Amino acid sequence: MVINGILFRQRTRVPWRDLPARFGKWKTVYERHRRWSAGGMWDRIFKAVLADSDATGCIDWSMVSVDSTSCRAHQNAAGARKKPPRVPGRRTPRQHRPDEGLGRSRGGLTCKIHLLGEGGLPASRPPHHAGSVGRRTAARSRDGACPCRPPGRWAPRTRPDHLGGDKAYSSRRNRRYLRRRQIKHIIPEPKNQRANRQRRGSRGGRPTGFNTTIYKRRNEVERTINALKNSRAVATRYDKRAYIFHGTVTVAAIRLWLRSLSE
């Protein structure tokens, strides 16, 4: 009943106080979701779902694409305390994350989600950063696709054969990082970077290989973003705390995988 209440809120983005009575007390549903998000329960469930999917061969390791999307922050998501309040005679409560993942851009307060997509499904736990964080900054944390250990396998596989991305992820540092981890990158090179490399001559390095046939599969991550944003609590951030919103996005990813496995 509690899990159904969490899924109902994640899909319809109703305020916690407005949950239907059939899910029990709204305070109980909210506290369970908050505690499970803070303790990493949703992350462990997502790892278990990925492990079962990988064991049955549902994860395609030949091509994984990376992309990001911006989520507009509601006015209720702003104004979180920077420091926990001090209560006389009580221990100061633990502060989970100092950075709440909110940044101010031209559209106001936004939160950016970076994720890997495989076949229209999320292939890793989607992290989030402030809306002002660039894609190149967060790209190096998105190369591990499945940080889980499938049953019967000694070491988990975390590196796909190819990693695709748009021009915003093109940088010498990202390419060098992927080569060091033996991952072939399918990232187009912008004109200014190509001109700068050609101007430097032999010191500019070799031209980057680009496979147009494999790059056509980059739309899989776009479909993943579209499927995640069908959940209204993900499309617009209503949670003040970053770890609660991270749990909401993880629940949406778990729901997508469970629905695909049932089909």
* Residues 14-22, mean pLDDT to the nearest whole number: 94
Q: Quote the crossing angle between the two packed helices 26-39 and 2-12, to the nearest 10°.
A: 90
R_g of the chain, CA atoms, integer Å: 20
Q: Are 225 and 219 in contact (CB under 8 A)?
A: no
Name the percent of the chain in helix, strand, coil, to the closest 5: 45, 15, 40
**Could you tell me the CA-to-CA distances from 37 to 10, 199, 212, 242, 245 in Å, in that order?**
13, 50, 40, 10, 8
Q: pTM of this prediction?
A: 0.80
Q: What is the pLDDT of residue 142?
A: 47
Per-residue model confidence as pLDDT tens digits over 62-85: 888 888 888 888 888 876 665 655
Per-residue model confidence as pLDDT tens digits over 230-240: 999 999 999 98
Domains and CATH numbers, the chain: 60-78+99-237 (3.30.420)
Q: 245: pLDDT confidence band, cut at 50, 70 and 90?
A: very high
Q: What is the pLDDT of residue 202?
A: 66
Q: What is the pLDDT of residue 83?
A: 61
Q: What is the pLDDT of residue 143?
A: 44
Flag whether pLDDT at 2 surpasses 90: yes
**Parallel, antiparallel, or unpaired for β 64-73 and 103-105?**
unpaired
